[in-house]
Amino acid sequence: MYDFSGLTASIHSWLSGRLSSAGVTLAEMALAGMAVLMFFVVLGIVLVYMERKVSAFMQLRLGPNRVGPKGTLQAIADTIKLLLKEGFTPKSADKLLFNLAPFIVITVSMLALAPMPFARGLQVYDINIGVFYISAVSSISVIGVLMAGWASNNKYSLLGAMRSGAQIVSYELSAGLSLVAVTALAGSMSLTDIVQSQADGWWIFKGHIPAIIAFVIFIIASTAELNRAPFDMAEAESELTAGFHTEYTGMRFAMFFLAEYVNMFILCGVGATLFLGGWMPLHFGHLNAFNTFMDYIPSPVWFLGKTFFLIFIIMWFRWTFPRLRIDQLLALEWKYLMPISLFNILLVAAVVIAGWHF
C-alpha cells in the first residue's frame, strides 16, 4: 500500500538542514498553501468541465466541443474571461463587507480541506478531531453568504442570502448527525483513524442498515448545504436573478463560483472517507489474490475515484429533479430527515453497544 510519509519526512529533513525551526515552519506552511491554491485552480477547471459534460449527457447534448480537444479548454477560456472582467461595486453597497465576503467563503473552503487524507501520510493537517473540525469550519461559510447578500444593498441578494442561511443552518443538523453515526461506529473523530478502521471493509458495508441510512441522509443534506439543485433556493435564477451574488462580477464572482465546486469536492471527500473507506482499497474477506491486486492501485486514485463518484451523483441530482419550494425544502429537513437522523443515532448506539457491526 502506498505511503507518502517518507516523502513528507524527507522534505522536512531537507528544510531542517537549511533553515531554523521557525523558518522550517514558515516554509512548510508556504509550500502547503501553494499546493492547496494550485489544487483549487485545477479542481475548479476539472469540475466545471465535468459539470457541463454530465449535464450534456443527461440532456442528450454534446456539451463543450469547440475550444480545445472535445471542449477541454472551455473552462480555461472562461477563467481568463473572469480574470479580465471589471470588478464592479454598487454605489450604495457596504464596500468593506462587499469585498470581504468572497474572501471569507474561499478561506473557509481552504481551511476545511486541511485535514482531508488523500492517501496514507498525504494530508495538510492531521488532527485527532478531524470530523468535528470540518463540521465547525464549514459552518462559517454561511457568514460570508449572509454578508454578501446584506452588503450588496439589493433585495434579491438579501432574500437569497436569508434563504441560504435558513437552508444551511437547517441541513447542517442532519449532516452532522450522519457524521456522528460513523464516528460512533469507528470510535474516533480522526479522519486517519476512521480510514484505518475500514481496512477490513468500508463502513457502508459493515455498518449495516444504520450506515446506509446515514449515507443517504448525508448525500441529501450535503446537496442542500451546497445550495445546488434541487435545493438551489438561494440562487433561484427564475426568481432572484442570481441570489446572494447577483451584484458580484469578475474575480469576486469567480471566488464564489470556485468555492461552490471546492465545497462540493470537500463534502464528497468527507463522504468517501467516512462511508467508502477513503484511500483504503476495496478488500473482500479472505480473497487474498483480489485484495493484493487492489493494493497495487495507488491510494490517491482510490480516494479521488470515490470522491468523483459522489460528485457525479450530486450532479445527477441537479439535472434530474426540479427545484423545491422553500416550504418543501424546510419541511423535508424538519419533518423527515431530522427525525430519521435522531432515530438512526439510537440505532447506531444499539449496534455499537451490542457489537453487531463487522
* Domain residue limits at 311: 83-354
Residues sharing a CB contact under 8 Å with residue 305, sequence separation 6 or more, in sequence order:
none
Residue 144 lies in a domain: yes
Half-sphere exposure of 300 (CA within 13 A, CB side): 6
Residue 23 lies in a domain: no
Q: In this predicted structure, what is the pLDDT of residue 271?
A: 96
Residue 235 lies in a domain: yes
Residue 47 lies in a domain: no
Residue 16 lies in a domain: no
Q: In this predicted structure, what is the pLDDT of residue 237?
A: 65
Give the Cα separation of 157 and 198 in Å (integer). Answer: 44
Q: In this predicted structure, what is the pLDDT of residue 74?
A: 93
Q: In this predicted structure, what is the pLDDT of residue 73?
A: 93
The number of distinct structural domains making up the chain is 1
Spans in the chain with pLDDT lower than 50? none
- The residues pairing with 120 across neighbouring beta strands, listed in sequence order, are 3
Residue 157 lies in a domain: yes
Is it true that the peptide bond before 230 is cis, omega within 30 degrees of 0?
Answer: yes
Residue whose C-alpha cell is 462559517: 140
Q: In this predicted structure, what is the pLDDT of residue 325?
A: 85
Residue 54 lies in a domain: no
Residue 174 lies in a domain: yes
